[in-house]
Amino acid sequence: MEHKDIDHLFRHHSGKMVSVLTRIFGLSHLDIIEDAVQDTFIKASILWRKQQPEYPEAWLTKAAKNRVLDIFRTLKTQKTHIANLSTGTDAIAINELFLDKEIEDAQLRMIFTACHPKLDARDRISFALKTVSGFSTKEIASALLTKEETIKKRLVRARKSIQKAGLQFSIPQGKALKERLDSVMEVLYIIFNEGFHSNKKNQLIREDLCGEAMRLCQMLLKNKTTRTSSSYALFALMCFHSARLPAKINLNNEVIDLKQQDRSLWHLPLIQLGNTMMNKAVETEDFSSYHYEAAIAAEHLKAKTYADTNWNKILNWYEKLYTMQPMPSHLLTIAVICIQTKDYKKAESYFNKLEPKALEQRKYLFYAAKADYYKAIHNLELAIEHIHQAIEYVTNDLEKDYLLKKKSAWLNQLN
């Protein structure tokens, strides 16, 4: 079995395995459980070189459970901490926890545990990405635009907080649910964004991460206590963005911008599903940031061509979003929209409010947008100067190639 297939299985199944095993053995043994799951995948990567089992996921789950039992036997704590899992009613009860419905319940419990208010807000996101979706520390650092060493510290701190507070492996009830649900949705949003626009050097789109975020969001919608207008809006947003994925990269692995995308490649079933979810999301007038972002994405999908885009409507939604969530990235997008509407004076005023470093790892977007602004006002020399800066800061190879081609075309125009 190829290494990439093992990686895919780890991404897809490790969160399930950690969640179910935590439900069986308890949060106090989370470190041992995560090590056991890791060991299981190392073992699989060796054994499966010759022959892959007929049911890989079942093999992995059983192997992980047995690995945990082996570790507890070594520590001589089996009698204290674990029931006899080999025979009788205990074995039946444990096996039932590996049914699909119970696996989903265990993952929901893990998500809500990770997003407990007794954990630091930054630690919650890092911990959830690690335990629920099997992110490596490097991937979490990339998704959260921070250093890998910082993520390692956050994970250690989160585990210590869980142990110190004696947190329960459960879904909260009443008033505590809403606060925790907001944190859960933020985590899912980050997972999806890392898939839709990855920070990885040689890969722009990571469909497995988009799919994982959508799967976890669907779990929220299946549970009546976590099904809200905001979770519907978040899922609608994911559907709308995912619908455009087939058109973002061409067969030569080159980035295709929105203006040049073949809209016939946009996936209609996902657009229709997004519309259905959005109809449910707007049954209330209590709108979240996800409502506005989904409305913006929907406007792009409504336009039959790029020229048909209703930029004024999109600008209106973005201004409402920025009022609710005053983030530098939203401000930059508003400036870009003003370029589209040819309101260059307004675009310049928004650019002047921005500091590139506020965008951290994505500060190249500021220089790329400013380059487009100068190109629009026919100052090609400044446009080339700014796109050169964007090229210096961009980390993704596909985006760098896209910017280099744009710079080359502008240089030809200048000459």
pLDDT score of 142: 75
Sign of the dihedral defined by the CA atoms of residues 201, 147, 327, 381, in that order = negative
Which of 193, 208, 244 is CA-nearest to residue 361?
Answer: 193
Q: Which amino acid is at 345?
A: K
- Tell whether 370 is covered by a domain: no
Distance CA 339, CA 335 (A): 7
pLDDT in tens, 276-302: 999 999 998 889 999 999 999 999 999
For residue 111, the Cα-to-chain-centroid distance in whole angstroms is: 14
- Tell whether 272 is covered by a domain: no
Taking the alpha carbons at both ends of the chain, their separation in whole angstroms is 53
Which of 183, 9, 222 is CA-nearest to residue 100?
Answer: 222
**Predicted confidence band at 88 (pLDDT cuts at 50, 70, 90)?**
very low
- Above 80 in pLDDT, residue 152? yes
Which of 61, 125, 72 is CA-nearest to residue 97?
Answer: 61
If you average pLDDT over every residue of the chain, what do you get? 87
Distance CA 320, CA 333 (A): 13
Distance CA 379, CA 363 (A): 21
Which of 291, 275, 338 is CA-nearest to residue 312?
Answer: 338
- Above 60 in pLDDT, residue 393? yes
For residue 354, the Cα-to-chain-centroid distance in whole angstroms is: 25
pLDDT score of 93: 60
- Tell whether 26 is covered by a domain: yes
Tokens for 150, please give them: 């910082």
pLDDT in tens, 199-223: 666 777 878 788 888 998 999 999 9
Q: Indicate the number of domains in the chain.
A: 1
Distance CA 35, CA 23 (A): 16
- Tell whether 407 is covered by a domain: no
Region 99-113 average pLDDT = 85
Sign of the dihedral defined by the CA atoms of residues 309, 313, 319, 323, in that order = negative
Region 57-84 average pLDDT = 70
- Tell whether 368 is covered by a domain: no
H/E element holding 19? helix 3-25
- Tell whether 346 is covered by a domain: no
pLDDT score of 87: 45
Region 8-14 average pLDDT = 75
Domain limits at 30?
Answer: 1-98
- Above 60 in pLDDT, residue 268? yes
- Tell whether 62 is covered by a domain: yes
- Tell whether 30 is covered by a domain: yes
Residue 202 CB-density burial (10 A; 0-12 exposed, 13-18 middle, 19+ buried)? exposed
Q: Which amino acid is at 409?
A: A
Sign of the dihedral defined by the CA atoms of residues 296, 225, 33, 164, in that order = positive
Q: What CATH number should be reported for the domain holding residue 19?
A: 1.10.1740
Q: How many CA atoms lie within 13 A of 4 on its CB side?
A: 2
Q: How many CA atoms lie within 13 A of 194 on its CB side?
A: 22
- Give residue for tokens 């946009």: 266
**H helix runs in 97-228, sequence order:** 100-114, 121-131, 137-143, 148-165, 175-196, 207-222
Sign of the dihedral defined by the CA atoms of residues 323, 325, 326, 331, in that order = negative
Range of lowest pLDDT (7-21, 74-88, 95-109, 251-265)? 74-88
Region 365-389 average pLDDT = 96
pLDDT in tens, 221-237: 999 999 999 999 999 99
193, 143 contact by CB (below 8 A): yes
DSSP-based three-state secondary structure for 102: helix
Q: How many CB atoms lie within 10 A of CB 89?
A: 9
